[in-house]
């Protein structure tokens, strides 16, 4: 594949980051609507998957859909921006996306709770390392604004991990990761449109 074709594919794939964000927002709104007993800052997001409401299905299929979209998005770092940081970040994000799909498949109760928790932790760790690799590459390539968003998002996630309980950490991490994801998608699209 020549470089120009790779960059064109990268731009097309970058839109899947935007789609993943949209699906995540829709899923959370649907889950909250279907399960009004869920309390922000007290209940984890995974609690939606264990409820006796439609929120359980919304959570399950939402995680699988978001994971699939993020998996496609992760390829944009591999095919069009072939540098060590982007390639490494793309592979790590792909693995994180697979973990998210498995988070949806395994409920956080009963005999599947340990499996669910394992994939949830792995997804978080892999996504954070992906952010570090891609942000470092952005800085190296002179994309200071996008790199700055990545640094801020990473610091917010680490700060939330230290300061808050699991439920609040998830909420801060989701917001920070979403802002970073939209910024990265925008950068790839902008770079592709300039060529």
pLDDT greater than 90 at residue 112: no
How many other CB atoms sit within 10 Å of the CB of residue 110? 10
Most confident segment among 20-29, 112-121, 180-189: 20-29
Percent pLDDT > 90 in the chain is 58
3-state secondary structure of 194: coil
Look at 18-27, 103-112, 136-145 and tell me which has the smallest mean pLDDT: 103-112
Is the distance from CB of 186 to CB of 150 less than 8 angstroms? no
pLDDT number for residue 6: 46
What the block records as the tokens of 92 is: 């790590």
- Give mean pLDDT, residues 115-132: 93
Q: How far apart are the first and last CA of the chain?
A: 17
Name the residue ranges covered by the structural domains of the chain. 3-193
pLDDT greater than 60 at residue 194: no
Q: Which pTM value belongs to this model?
A: 0.87
Is the distance from CB of 90 to CB of 78 less than 8 angstroms? yes
């Amino acid at each position: 594949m020549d470089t120009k074709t790779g960059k064109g594919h990268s731009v097309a794939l970058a839109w899947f980051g935007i789609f993943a964000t949209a699906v995540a927002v829709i899923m959370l709104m649907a889950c909250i609507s279907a399960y009004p007993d869920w309390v922000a800052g007290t209940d984890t997001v995974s609690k939606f998957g264990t409820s006796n409401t439609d929120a359980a299905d919304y959570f399950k299929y939402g995680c699988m859909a978001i994971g699939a979209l993020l998996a496609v998005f992760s390829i944009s770092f591999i095919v069009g921006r072939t540098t060590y940081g982007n390639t490494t970040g793309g592979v790590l994000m792909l693995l994180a996306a697979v973990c998210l799909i498995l988070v949806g498949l395994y409920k956080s109760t009963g005999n599947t709770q340990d499996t669910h928790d394992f994939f949830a932790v792995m997804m978080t760790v892999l996504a954070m390392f992906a952010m570090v690799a891609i942000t470092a590459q952005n800085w190296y390539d002179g994309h200071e604004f996008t790199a700055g968003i990545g640094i801020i998002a990473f610091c917010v996630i680490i700060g939330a991990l230290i300061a808050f309980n699991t439920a609040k950490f998830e909420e801060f991490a989701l917001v920070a990761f979403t802002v970073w994801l939209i910024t990265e998608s925008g950068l790839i699209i902008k770079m592709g449109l300039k060529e």
